[in-house]
Amino acid sequence: MNGAEALIATLQSCGVDVCFANPGTSEMQLVAAIDGQEGMRSVLGLFEGVVTGAADGYGRMADKPAATLLHLGPGMANGNAYIHNARRAFTPMINLVGDHATYHLHYNAPLTSDVAGVARPMSDWVRTARSPRDLALAGAEAHAASLVWPGQIATVIVPADHAWSDGAAVAEPHAAQPAPQVAASVIAEAAEALRNSEGPMALFLGGRAVREESLYHAGQIAAATGAKLISETFSARLQRGAGRVAAERLPYPGESAAEVLKDYKTIVFCGCEPPVSFFAYPGKPSWLSPEGANLVCLSSAREDAPAALAALVRALGAGDVQPTLQPAFAAECTEGKLDPMKIGATLAQLMPENAIVSDEGATAGFAAFPMTAGAPKHDWLMVTGGAIGQGMPVAVGAAVACPDRKVIALQADGGGMYTNQALWTMARENLDITTIILNNGSYAILNIELARVGVANPGPKALSMLSLRDPDIQWAQMAESMGVPARRATTAAEFREALEWALSHKGPRLVEAVI
Q: Is 47 a residue that touches its own copies (CB under 8 A)?
A: yes
Q: Candidates 205-213, 260-268, 441-449, 489-497 — which segment interacts with its own copies by CB under 8 A?
A: 441-449
Which CB atom, from 41 or from 195, has the smaller least distance to its own copies? 41
Q: Helix crossing, 72-88 with 48-62: angle to 10°?
A: 30
**Cα angle at 369 between 488 and 253, to 5 degrees?**
115
Q: Residue 439 — φ and ψ, nearest 5°?
A: -95, 95
The residue within the footprint of its own copies, chosen from 325, 473, 490, 497 (CB under 8 A), is 473
Interface positions, 138-177, toward its own copies (CB under 8 A) = 160-161, 164
The residue within the footprint of its own copies, chosen from 90, 380, 475, 495 (CB under 8 A), is 475
Q: Rounded to an integer, what distance in angstroms lies between the CA atom of residue 42 and that of residue 190?
A: 46
Interface positions, 98-127, toward its own copies (CB under 8 A) = 100-101, 103-104, 107-111, 113-114, 117-118, 120-122
CB of 302 closer than 8 Å to CB of 149: yes
CB of 2 closer than 8 Å to CB of 168: yes
In the complex, the smallest distance separating the C-beta of residue 158 from its own copies, rounded to whole angstroms, is 13
Which CB atom, from 37 or from 299, has the smaller least distance to its own copies? 37
Q: Is 354 a residue that touches its own copies (CB under 8 A)?
A: no
Q: Candidates 71-79, 198-206, 355-363, 401-409 — which segment interacts with its own copies by CB under 8 A?
A: 71-79
Q: Candidates 34-42, 209-217, 264-272, 363-371 — which segment interacts with its own copies by CB under 8 A?
A: 34-42
Count of residues touching its own copies (by CB under 8 A): 99
Which CB atom, from 318 or from 468, has the smaller least distance to its own copies? 468
Q: Is 292 a residue that touches its own copies (CB under 8 A)?
A: no
Nearest CA-CA partner of 238 in 195, 267, 272? 272
Interface positions, 243-262, toward its own copies (CB under 8 A) = none
The residue within the footprint of its own copies, chosen from 156, 446, 489, 499 (CB under 8 A), is 446
Which CB atom, from 189 or from 255, has the smaller least distance to its own copies? 255
- Measured CA distances, 90 to 76, 301, 328, 394 (Å): 19, 8, 30, 14
String of b and e for 209-221 (b: at least 16 CB within 10 Å)? bbbeebbbbbbbb
Interface positions, 361-400, toward its own copies (CB under 8 A) = 384-387, 389
Q: Is 78 a residue that touches its own copies (CB under 8 A)?
A: yes
Q: Rounded to an integer, what distance in angstroms lies between the CA atom of residue 278 and that of residue 362?
A: 13
Q: Is 477 a residue that touches its own copies (CB under 8 A)?
A: yes
* DSSP-derived 3-state class of residue 303: coil
In the complex, the smallest distance separating the C-beta of residue 389 from its own copies, rounded to whole angstroms, is 8
Q: Is 464 a residue that touches its own copies (CB under 8 A)?
A: yes
Q: What is the DSSP letter of 292?
A: T
The residue within the footprint of its own copies, chosen from 414, 436, 487, 515 (CB under 8 A), is 414
The residue within the footprint of its own copies, chosen from 60, 64, 84, 211 (CB under 8 A), is 84
CB of 331 closer than 8 Å to CB of 489: no
In the complex, the smallest distance separating the C-beta of residue 295 from its own copies, rounded to whole angstroms, is 14
Q: Candidates 221-229, 364-372, 466-474, 487-495 — which segment interacts with its own copies by CB under 8 A?
A: 466-474
Q: Are strands 294-299 and 355-360 parallel, antiparallel or unpaired?
A: unpaired
Q: Are strands 407-412 and 433-439 parallel, antiparallel or unpaired?
A: parallel
Q: Is 20 a residue that touches its own copies (CB under 8 A)?
A: no
In 387-504, beta strands by DSSP E: 407-412, 433-439, 486-489
Asked whether the CA dihedral 56, 273, 179, 10 is positive or negative, the reply is positive
Q: Rounded to an integer, what distance in angstroms lies between the CA atom of residue 457 and that of residue 25?
A: 51
In the complex, the smallest distance separating the C-beta of residue 374 from its own copies, rounded to whole angstroms, is 28
In the complex, the smallest distance separating the C-beta of residue 362 from its own copies, rounded to whole angstroms, is 11
Bond before 471 cis per omega within 30 degrees: yes
Q: Helix crossing, 305-315 with 212-225: angle to 10°?
A: 30
Give the number of other Cβ atoms within 10 Å of residue 403's Cβ.
Answer: 12
The residue within the footprint of its own copies, chosen from 25, 196, 256, 504 (CB under 8 A), is 25
Site string for its own copies, 206-245 (x = CB under 8 A): ----------------------------x-----------
The residue within the footprint of its own copies, chosen from 8, 14, 16, 31 (CB under 8 A), is 31
The residue within the footprint of its own copies, chosen from 15, 198, 263, 279 (CB under 8 A), is 279
